Amino acid sequence: MPSVTTAIQRSEVVVEIGGVPIRLRCDNTVFLDQIEERYAGYVSSSSDAGFDFEIHLAPPGTASGDLEVDVTWESGRWLMKRGDFRAEWNPSSLCGHIEQTINPFSLDSVLRILHTLLLAREGGFLLHASSAIRNGSAFLFSGVSGAGKTTMARLAPPDVVMLTDEVSYVTRNDSRYFAVGTPFFGELARVGANQRAPVKALYLLAKGSENKIVPIAGAEAVRALLRNVLFFAREPEFVRMVFDTAIDFVARVPVRRLTFTPDYRVWEMLV
Amino acid sequence: MKPSLFVAHSTAIAARGLDQETMVMSATNSTLFTLNEVASVIWQSLDSTTPLGEIVARKICTKYDVALDVALEHAEALVRGLAQHGILLLSEEPISVSIGSSKVTQ
């Protein structure tokens, strides 16, 4: 007969990113502990969750090395898969399930994909960018790997609140764009502050021999932005939404190319 | 005599005007194209039932100082290039995309 302790054992964690609470159910408490640790600052005590996921843990060693992410829409469900996970989400029932081995990285990927899908409908997006709040405004620093996202985070003065050094969460609200903290980190290996602020500017990063800011606009800005937006689904409707959002964002938020030398003075240029 | 060329936008794209340019994104592979001002005029005029030659004569040659044969050659190169990427559908007959009755080449 199971003990009383077992009977009331915790079986779920609610992770809330961007104000979207997602309940993750799993019968493995070790994994739930890993999730709580991984998403510290984003674990919600609320019993209300907009989305429910059941996690089934596969035995270790069953993941394949396929790194290609595949996201498709089929029979009213989003199917997401990579070598180390298979997930399914039904937007009508708001429920889904994930099959993965016991590691938080697979879950991290599923959450990223899920948020790209959710944000697309709301006019937001995830961006390969570090982001930070200073004096009540948010700044996005976008670029490919090695462009300086983490460097900008490391150079940030003490009054700067870092939201992420890797994947920025951008939402739209009443014609304004906001950057929101995320637990999605890069080299810094530090969860971002769970805060939000209106986006003042997007900086496209490039390392150089001097600090220089050049405004860019129009098609060039849209092209640069889309190059760094995370999206995985290929359905025409979804692509159109992301495309429209990029064009709207560029019309509302200044986009600038920031060439910088890696020292603290670069932050003095950002106003 | 060269046959008329009819051109239609693919349904698997997103296109938006931006200043004088037009940005077109393929929904199938997310490839992004930027059309300049002249190409944008052609893009906006493509309706699947008006021959490309007529569009060029009416919309390009009346607005820009260019001979019809030269403009048409450039326009054909443009639409054939975009068709290769699945952005446009080409046919020697008016195109009814939904019915699919025309012989469409990409």
Q: ipTM of this predicted complex?
A: 0.72
pLDDT of residue A2: 53
Answer whether A244 touches B (CB < 8 Å). yes
Kindly report the number of other CB atoms within 10 A of residue A49's CB atom.
20
Nearest to B25 among A218, A235, A239 (CB): A239
Spacing of C-alpha A252 from chain mean position: 21
Reduce the DSSP state of residue B75 to 3 states and report it: helix
Quick check: B14 and A240 CB within 8 A?
yes
pTM listed for this prediction: 0.86
Distance from CA of A15 to the nearest CA of B (A): 31
pLDDT of residue A187: 82
Regions of chain B where pLDDT drops below 50:
99-106
Answer whether B12 touches A (CB < 8 Å). yes
Nearest to B27 among A219, A222, A239 (CB): A239
CB B74 within 8 A of CB B42: no
pLDDT of residue A264: 85
pLDDT of residue B1: 66
pLDDT of residue B29: 79
Regions of chain A where pLDDT drops below 70:
1-9
Which residues in chain B (28-67) have CB-CB distances under 8 A to chain A? 28-30, 32, 34
